Structure 1
Amino acid sequence: MKKSKGILAAGILGAAAIVVKKKLEAEPVRKHLIPRHWDEQEIKERMQSFTEELATGDEEGIGSFFLGKEGKHFNPLKGQELTFLETHFLSLFKVKGNSDNNLRGLISYRVATAKKEYTYLIKVARLNVGEKLEWYIQKVVQQDRGIKYPNQYLLQLTPIRPHEELCQIETDAGTITMRLFQQDAPKAVKNWRGLAKQGFYDGTPFARVIKDFVIQGGALDGSGNEAESIYGGYFEDEVDEGLYHFDGAVCLGNHGPNTNGNQFYIVERNHVDQEQLYRMNLPLKVRSHYEAVGGIPELDGRYTVFGQVIEGMAVVREIADQVTNEEDAPLNPIRIQKITFKKASQS
């Protein structure tokens, strides 16, 4: 097998690299350190560069680390379209008797191709080489063979079917049109349809609005009607892995697990918190859509998503732009006039 040339690009050649490796394996460490935010930032930037270098597929171009024989572990990634997901220190140590800020650590590294996500546990060293600080991968302690992404069928991204039932919320600011996902949130959709046809929401305000977060309606805390539903009280969550808090998602508010009534909210965020997004173990297709349209992934798995706005997001944003008090209540709330249902056209 051809030996990796990655070590040549980093500035230590031949026998010198062997000496460095033996020194790293033999040296004692002094104590465990708590990684500082600049340590975490440095390793993040280093691994992002490493990911880009792997994607080029050129062994001589991998200069972020001294790889040595450990480079073989990254062969499945070379030359592929890669997405850097996350890295952080699991442990960090200071070298005994060394004053050059040389560090040793154990890091996790997550990276994805279009079809799989890979996780590595890597032992690394930061070396003071002359006037430069260089990094060396001592050992890949553990790696998986790549977890395949499922063929993720995202209902919120599917085309509208001919004669699909759509819901229209007519407000003082205009009309919001949304899809309902009866197959994956049947109890929530049945409750919404039932209450709407009874006129429950007619004349009620969007009583809580938070710009770049949500607009919320229904019987809010303290009204005494929070539990009202067609089921005679609170009903259970329908948290489905195929429905997500993308921008424009329509969801049920609650007071904790399985306390759904008539409260609802519409997500209003056309961007995403990247740090939160990459902390979550989401399929690449889902993560990519969050990056494209925005949303609140940190709410996934906690609240029932039962619909998606398809027209009228400008109305949602106008409602979210209202002036509010300290409790996020609008000073002049926009109200729901009525809720109606119609069939989608065939065209």
Structure 2
Amino acid sequence: MKKSKVVLAAGVLGAAAIIMKKKLGNETVTKHLIPRHWDEQEIKERLQDFTQKLAAGEEEVLESFVLGKEGKHFTPLKGQELTFLTARFMSLYKIKGDSRNNLRGVVTYRVATPKKEYTYLLQVARLADGEKLDWYIQKIIQQDHGIKYPNQYLLQLTPVRPNEELCQIETDAGTITLRVFQQDAPKAVKNWRGLAKQGFYDGTPFARVIKDFVIQGGALDGSGEEAQSIYGGYFEDEVDEGLYHFDGAVCFGNHGPNTNGNQFYIVERNHVDQEQLYRMNLPLKVRSHYEAVGGIPELDGRYTVFGQVIEGMPVVRAIASQMTDEKDAPLEPIMIQKISFKKASQN
């Protein structure tokens, strides 16, 4: 019986790979490698082929690409309309053993249906099947249940509506105009509007600036005023409502979960860290916008985004470009003169 099982499996995977498959549970790492462009191309093409055959519902697709019983994780996607998004090595390494069967890696693989995007973290093995070398999915390290695409337009990407309330931050360097998102961050916007109308920010500096990161204002001096808000103290986060740290996003700083007060920052980065972006589990539309305009996706889910700069990014960049000390404090801080509100034009 054992011999028959090997012969049947060899028709799919190859006898040499079968031998390696039996040893995959006891592997010793001997060397870590930096993935090269040909490694990335190999895994991309292999998982593109896997996606295509999975969508076609081909009978032996799971056995042809996935070792052991790990194929069960992909069964719900079989026969669906699928779009390959990305496959990228997170790590690449060698194990002790046959030089034709000793390459392993950890790969992030993303695929989408018309309604959801799925992310898998895969352990993969390159195995010999006769003269041919192919990558196989060895183990599912992590997976999600699919992120639904937003049904509504992303608010930060929609045009300004006639009579929409806009906020103007007048500074020594010029005026920054932003829109605020009352419906998705109501507590944060109410706090921002209330403090601004009380004059809380008038005459205060952008006290922390980091080029290609953020400019930050509010109570940053450790005086205890960090908790001051219209709610009488810290208030909760609003971080899961479809607002993102795109370039120009306006957000509340905090000291940990649900410690919003009056500290705020404006994102100043017109590019994106691709390595961080690939680690994020984001809908394609969001990731594409990050790639187009820049931002800091690694801050998503930790800080409340409540606004977006629509005019005055050159002012933000000028503030971010100041000379600072070792604590990122400007040597000659730019001050906030006044924060006011106005209605957008009807034209």
TM bucket, shorter chain: 0.7 to 0.9
**2:47–2:87: 8 Å Cα contact kept in structure 1?**
no
Amino acid across the alignment from 1:248: G
Displacement after TM superposition at 1:127 (Å)? 4.3
Q: CA 1:334 to 1:136, structure 2 compared with 1: closer, same or farther past 3 Å? A: closer
**2:108–2:121: 8 Å Cα contact kept in structure 1?**
yes
Provide the rounded CA distance (Å) in 1 between the counterparts of 2:174 and 2:140.
58
Runs of 5+ in structure 1 lacking a partner? 1-13, 59-66
Asked whether 1:313 is paired with 2:313, we answer yes
- Counterpart in 2 of 1:124? 125
Provide the rounded CA distance (Å) in 2 between the counterparts of 1:34 and 1:343.
64
Q: CA 1:261 to 1:18, structure 2 compared with 1: closer, same or farther past 3 Å? A: closer
**CA-to-aligned-CA distance 1:276-302 (integer Å, 9 cap, x gap):** 111121111111111111111111111
Alignment of 1:144-293 (within 5 A): 147=146, 149-153=148-152, 154-293=154-293
Q: CA 1:317 to 1:101, structure 2 compared with 1: closer, same or farther past 3 Å? A: same
2:86 to 73, 81, 84: 84
Q: CA 1:244 to 1:134, structure 2 compared with 1: closer, same or farther past 3 Å? A: same
Provide the rounded CA distance (Å) in 2 between the counterparts of 1:341 and 1:170.
11
Amino acid across the alignment from 1:48: K
Provide the rounded CA distance (Å) in 2 between the counterparts of 1:284 and 1:146.
16
Displacement after TM superposition at 1:305 (Å)? 0.8
Amino acid across the alignment from 2:148: Y
Provide the rounded CA distance (Å) in 1 between the counterparts of 2:101 and 2:225.
62
- Counterpart in 1 of 2:3? none
**CA-to-aligned-CA distance 1:294-342 (integer Å, 9 cap, x gap):** 1111111111111110111111001000000101011111111111111
Amino acid across the alignment from 1:46: E
- Counterpart in 2 of 1:5? none
Runs of 5+ in structure 2 lacking a partner? 1-9, 54-60
**1:86–1:111: 8 Å Cα contact kept in structure 2?**
no
Displacement after TM superposition at 1:271 (Å)? 0.9
Displacement after TM superposition at 1:221 (Å)? 3.3
Displacement after TM superposition at 1:173 (Å)? 0.9
Alignment of 1:51-70 (within 5 A): 51=47, 70=64
Provide the rounded CA distance (Å) in 1 between the counterparts of 2:156 and 2:122.
35
**1:92–1:103: 8 Å Cα contact kept in structure 2?**
yes
Provide the rounded CA distance (Å) in 1 between the counterparts of 2:125 and 2:80.
20
Number of equivalenced pairs: 321
Displacement after TM superposition at 1:211 (Å)? 0.4
Q: CA 1:17 to 1:244, structure 2 compared with 1: closer, same or farther past 3 Å? A: closer
Provide the rounded CA distance (Å) in 2 between the counterparts of 1:211 and 1:77.
48
- Name the Cα RMSD after superposition: 3.8
Alignment of 1:3-22 (within 5 A): 18-22=14-18
Provide the rounded CA distance (Å) in 1 between the counterparts of 2:253 and 2:167.
19
Provide the rounded CA distance (Å) in 1 between the counterparts of 2:102 and 2:216.
50
Amino acid across the alignment from 2:190: K
- Counterpart in 2 of 1:343? 343
SS in 1 for 2:187: helix
**1:82–1:114: 8 Å Cα contact kept in structure 2?**
no
Amino acid across the alignment from 1:110: Y
Q: CA 1:211 to 1:120, structure 2 compared with 1: closer, same or farther past 3 Å? A: closer
**2:12–2:64: 8 Å Cα contact kept in structure 1?**
no
**1:323–1:330: 8 Å Cα contact kept in structure 2?**
yes
Provide the rounded CA distance (Å) in 2 between the counterparts of 1:223 and 1:138.
54
- Counterpart in 1 of 2:5? none
Q: CA 1:179 to 1:26, structure 2 compared with 1: closer, same or farther past 3 Å? A: closer
Provide the rounded CA distance (Å) in 1 between the counterparts of 2:293 and 2:12.
50
